[in-house]
Amino acid sequence: MRRKIIAGNWKMNKTGAEAIELAKALKVKSVNIERADMVICPPFTALYQTAEIIKASKIKLGAQNVYWEDSGAFTGEISLPMLKDAGCEYAIIGHSERRQFFGETDETVNRKIQKVTGSDLTAIVCVGETLEQRKAGDTERIINTQISNGFAGITQEQMKRIIIAYEPIWAIGTGMTATPEQAEDVHLFIRNLIKSLYGAAAADMIRIQYGGSVKPDNAAELLSQPDIDGALVGGASLKADAFIEIIKAA
């Protein structure tokens, strides 16, 4: 059985003080939760404060992005050693907002996956199609391309440090969740793709999260699908009660 993992992507929200407040609430409310792994991904500026709050809890820290060089003249970027120093154990890579607004491509995603999986952090790699692509019947082709190119040169060993997040772009922040069946179909497709690329054991092991308008009232149904191993939660992760409800649904 794959252990479920629920991650909160705070996106560009929460100042340091606000992050501390939310992290404190999550720490208290998560004390008795054993069933799922919990990760929160605050903005870079709040990583240290948040790490300090959650260090004696079961909640783990993640970043929303990472650069593939360790240091140097790369204005505005944050490196893996910096994330480790801040206490991160996870890094989200290739979120659709980064692909849409900040020029991320499968090639930059690949370099970032190479970097993170070569360390002791775990990469949460996002893939997903637009509404036009879904309507055109292109979902599987798009996911295939994103994974084949994004994972180029990634070894079996590195796969152990990867979680895939299937996030249909049309469902992110729109309130339009994929139905459990729509999500399960793509999750199964992804698992079979991993099987063809890395074999049955890797396919069985890899955790595939669903993301896109996950809320307390739809989480249980999504998370009960056989190939949905967790959730990457945006909006609903900004409120302690809602995020904890989603974790409990796992």
Residue 9 or 146: the one with the smaller Cβ distance to ligand PGA is 9
Q: Say whether residue 19 binds ligand PGA (CB under 6 A).
A: no
Residues 206-225 that bind ligand PGA (CB under 6 A): 211-214
Which part of the chain contacts ligand PGA (CB under 6 A), choosing from 39-47, 81-89, 139-147, 232-240?
232-240
**Known catalytic membership, residue 167:** yes
DSSP of 147-175: HHHHTTT--HHHHTTEEEEE--GGGSSSS
212 or 230: whose CB is closer to ligand PGA?
A: 212
Beta-carbon contacts of residue 230 (< 8 Å; ≥ 6 apart): 4, 5, 6, 7, 36, 37, 163, 207, 208, 209, 210, 223, 250
Task: Give yes or no: 187 in active site.
Answer: no
Least distance (Å) from ligand PGA to the CB of residue 234? Answer: 2
Residue 39 touches ligand PGA, criterion: CB under 6 A: no
Q: Is the dihedral of CA 137, 11, 3, 105 positive or negative?
A: positive
Q: Taking CB under 6 A as the criterion, which residues in 156-185 touch ligand PGA? A: 167, 172-173
- # residues contacting ligand PGA (CB under 6 A): 13
CB of 216 to ligand PGA, least distance (A): 12
Closest to ligand PGA by CB, 203 vs 244, is 244
Active site residues: 95, 167
The residues that touch ligand PGA, with contacts defined as CB under 6 A, are 9, 167, 172-173, 211-214, 232-236
